[in-house]
Amino acid sequence: MNFALILFCLLVASAAIWLADLLVFRKRRQMQRARILAHARGETPPETGSPNAGHGSSEEEIQHTVQGAGLADVRDKCRVSIRMVQRLLAQYGEKLSDEERMRIAAAIKGAEEVLHGGDIELIRQRNGALDATTQMFFKDPWWVEYGASFFPIILIVFLLRSFIVEPFKIPSGSMIPTLQVGDFILVNKFTYGIRLPLIDRKIIEIGTPRRGDVMVFRYPEDPSLDYIKRVIGVPGDRVAWQNKQISINGKPVEKHRINDYLHPERLYYSRQFAEKIDDAEYRVLNDQDVPAFIADPSSFPHGENCLYNNQGVICTVPEGHYFMMGDNRDNSRDSRYWGFVADENIVGKAFFIWLNFSDWKRIGTSIK
């Protein structure tokens, strides 16, 4: 199942629990707390649904910060609180953990120790600590507690992943030397426009892919897979791959030979070139002993826009589509084989390498 769909389902579920806690469970908990506290103190509980339900006099009477209260009054309130908590512990203590029962017992003991002293502020302090322990008797079910607490986290992750940035891992060597197998990269989700998650419909136009961009997209032959390649042709371009030379609209792409590239895992060299399209400069690999002929291309939409020959392929990019190629030119299945990438399949622009367990020096590298 698509990760975005799983995340969305978790978001909906946690949001429902959060709303239920806000609108139902919290009010019910307040009324239940008022009734139980009143019963524990031997008083008449407030009417259910009354304006003071959950906030009535039974709550106010146990507040210990009343300014100007005399020592005798504070002692009386402390005695009431001690009796109340003792009754709650006797009636509902079995629902608590051993640690919670120990904390409550310690709070009762602390209040009893200062009850007959003359330090009014210390009595108020211990009484306040004792009163705080009553919260342990009114906990939500675990699924409400965890669901409501996770909602903000899931919401933030969902918004970040859907509209701002999304992480990916490079699984293959088709973009060597720009990207290595095992690179963990970040993809900017709003460079090419804001899209609604799940349905991927663009709602705000911000920008469009440019020649030379490294772009993540859903594979046209299987949209459940994410691919990453470099944009070579934009709508209307005539892209030619002939004898291992790219030409765009009849103009050869600038490139020059640089030091050969060593594949460390295979211990062999590939010819390496510095290539430039518009403002983008990057490196590509091109093996001399591999023919330019495109073997077994797929049947794809707008396939009539492409002409295959012994020297490669020549394609005219249709409107709303892009021609993609890997930087490892002889080891990349790309638009030369399976056609164009539609605008609705775009995921975002790759811009940063944030992790690589095999080569720590690559961490923090920008993608060009």
In the chain, what is the straight-line distance between the N-terminal and C-terminal CA atoms, in Å?
A: 32
Active site residue 50: no
Distance CA 105, CA 255 (A): 79
DSSP 25: I
Distance CA 333, CA 294 (A): 10
Distance CA 196, CA 206 (A): 14
The answer to whether 336 touches 290, Cβ cutoff 8 Å, is no
Residue among 81, 162, 174, 335 flagged as catalytic: 174
Closest to 350 in 3D by CA, of 219, 237, 202, 231? 231
Q: Is 101 helix (H, G, I), strand (E, B) or coil?
A: helix
Which residue, chain included where needed, has tokens 């389902």?
Answer: 9
- Cα-based distances in Å from 173 to 35, 47, 227, 285, 327: 67, 71, 12, 11, 9
The answer to whether 181 touches 173, Cβ cutoff 8 Å, is yes
- DSSP character string of 240-298: EEETTEEEETTEEPEEEEEEEEEETTTTEEEEEEEEEETTEEEEEE--TTS-S---SPP
DSSP 162: I
> CA angle at residue 212 from 208 to 213, to 5 degrees?
50
Tokens of 55: 């906030």
Q: Is 368 helix (H, G, I), strand (E, B) or coil?
A: coil
Active site residue 229: yes
Tokens of 126: 């211990």
- Cα-based distances in Å from 169 to 90, 181, 214, 332, 366: 56, 8, 14, 17, 15
Tokens of 167: 């992480």
The answer to whether 199 touches 184, Cβ cutoff 8 Å, is no
Distance from the Cα of residue 263 to its chain's centroid: 34
Residue among 81, 229, 335, 349 flagged as catalytic: 229
Catalytic residues: 174, 229
